[in-house]
């Protein structure tokens, strides 16, 4: 499993793009390293779009905290799930995420596997998914990683990330 001080693994992820003039472009692949190089980025992963804890607490917590996260020097907030870009786009439309949280698809679980954070949710009919986590990367180096126990949202929430950033800036 990835840990503090490790380099983020390179991965190709996908994000749905609406394009210009409301003309949909569709899923766009991007290099995680290219997108995050030279930036301070919060990445939080969760089991799946439209799931109860993810929809009612995890994403809304990061949306509410986004202005303060940005004020603490975070350049971008990425929400990653093992879903396709169409699903992540549709889920993002149920929140006011525009410009605050990017809804990122790890459809083949490759990034999640590279982090060592995949879990088997087949017993619940969900297949392979991500564990719930949050990490802070600064120029691709992991500065903090928190992984929740299965079924919990105790350590990967936005408030814990804010507390960590405040402590770092105050140190």
Q: Which residues does the annotation mark as catalytic?
A: 54
DSSP letter for each residue of 71-110: HTT--EEEEEESS-HHHHHHHHTTTT-TTT-EEEE-TTSH
Sheet holding 76-81, edge to edge: 26-31, 12-17, 102-105, 76-81, 40-46, 133-138, 141-147
Asked if 105 contacts 85 with a C-beta cutoff of 8 angstroms, the reply is: yes
Find residue 80's DSSP bridge partners.
45, 104
Give the integer Cα–Cα distance in Å for 8 and 11: 9
């Amino acid at each position: 499993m990835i840990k503090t001080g490790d380099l983020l693994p390179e991965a190709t992820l996908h994000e749905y793009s609406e394009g210009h003039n409301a003309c949909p472009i569709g899923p766009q692949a991007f290099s995680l390293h290219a997108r995050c190089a030279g930036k301070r980025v919060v990445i939080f992963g969760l089991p799946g779009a439209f799931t109860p804890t993810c929809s009612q607490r995890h994403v809304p917590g990061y949306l509410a905290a986004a202005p303060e996260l940005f004020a603490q020097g975070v350049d971008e907030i990425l929400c990653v799930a093992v879903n396709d870009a169409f699903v992540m786009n549709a889920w993002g439309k149920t929140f006011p995420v525009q410009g605050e949280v990017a809804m990122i698809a790890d459809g083949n679980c490759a990034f999640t596997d590279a982090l060592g954070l995949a879990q088997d949710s087949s017993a619940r009919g969900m297949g392979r998914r991500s564990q719930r986590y949050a990490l802070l990367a600064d120029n691709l180096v992991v500065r903090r990683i928190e992984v929740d126990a299965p079924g919990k949202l105790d350590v990967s929430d936005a408030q814990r990330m804010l507390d960590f950033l405040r402590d770092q800036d105050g140190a």
